[in-house]
Amino acid sequence: MNIFGIGLPEMGVIFVVALLIFGPKKLPEIGRSLGKTIRSFQQASSDFQNEFQKEASKIEEAVKTTAELEPKQLEPAQKEDA
């Protein structure tokens, strides 16, 4: 098991140090707040990705529409030059 590049032995050491620093009563509260923070970060990241994809699809649609219109606009101009 490898999370964020930290293996199981390293996690155990971190847990023991946290237990010594904060004590057994404070540790669940800290874990809960850390979980909420990570969850809100993931939600913000997901929202950003969704918004980015929406904007990218709008730009792609605009480019596609412009690419379809350009040949139609060039044909009358070429006929006038001839």
The model carries a pTM of 0.53
Answer for the pair 18, 30: CB distance below 8 angstroms, yes or no: yes
Among 1, 2, 28, 33, smallest CA distance to 15 is for 28
More confident residue, 47 or 18: 47
* Coil, helix or strand at residue 32: helix
Tell me: the pLDDT tens digits for 39-76?
999 999 999 999 999 999 999 998 888 877 766 665 66
Model confidence band, residue 5 (pLDDT cutoffs 50, 70, 90) = confident
Which residue reads 């809100």 in tokens? Answer: 40
